[in-house]
Amino acid sequence: MKLRIVLVEPEGRINMGFILRLAKNFNVNDICVVNPKFNILDEEVLNFAAKGSELAGQVRIAKCLDECLKDLELSVCTTSYYDVESDVIRQSISLKHMVSIASNYNSLALVFGRESVGLTRSELGRCDLVMTIDVGSEYNVFNLSHAVAIVLYELLGVRKPQQAVYGYLSSREQLNYIVNYAKEIATALGLKASDVEIALKHVLYKALITKAEGRVLYRLFKSIYFTLKHCGKPASDSVSEDSDESA
């Protein structure tokens, strides 16, 4: 699996050094950093990286998160805070579930946020899935480099899980077409398109949709969209997000 570690605005040189060391431990050579708050080649970073300092010169610096997510099949954002009820952005999966899903993809971006405040809601919404390391305690906030270590060990340091789906998965392009049609349908029905986009994206990537299944869903959403566009939707028939139908 092609794996990319993505760090969004890291603030600590020591953590950066430890993460470079971890990348060396687990043979991860692809690291993308969004707007770091220090020089990656700082002496303190290199000292704490030990042999991982060899990777410092290969780190790619990006201006925004989207630059680090290009050309990969799956992106997973990490957060210590999740919501089991109404917050669609923070509908999180467990680390073990993420490992099982990731085993079906050839490339993956693991996205970690700032030491101080983590990832913003906008950044969480850019990923295909949101994942939480939940240890069942009252304090679920990990040090950045510790979180990276735990995720890399579960993903790369233990026995590879059995593939969950046999056959070819839907491509990112195909899934994006489905999501885009769903957004257009939501807009036509008076629903919040951004919430529909995030919810459907989470569902599609959790479900490991095959190409055959993706084609069926694509035709379905496309047909609904063009039917609504052709027939029109009376304003009085639009579904309110607060109605029982949307609950």
Classify each residue of 166-200 as buried b or exposed e, where b means 16 or more C-beta atoms within 10 Å of its C-beta. eeebbebebbebbbebbbbbbebbebebebbbbbb
The model carries a pTM of 0.82
Q: How far apart are CA 39 and CA 37, in angstroms?
A: 7
Contact in structure between 188 and 228 (CB atoms under 8 Å): yes
What are the distances in angstroms from CA 207 to CA 60, 124, 198?
Answer: 32, 19, 14
**pLDDT per residue as tens, the chain (247 positions):** 899 999 999 999 999 999 999 999 999 999 999 999 999 999 999 999 999 999 999 999 999 999 999 999 999 999 998 877 788 998 999 999 999 999 889 999 999 999 999 999 999 999 999 999 988 888 888 999 999 999 999 998 765 555 666 678 899 999 999 999 999 999 999 999 999 999 999 999 999 999 999 999 999 999 999 999 888 654 444 444 444 443 3
**154 DSSP 8-state letter:** I
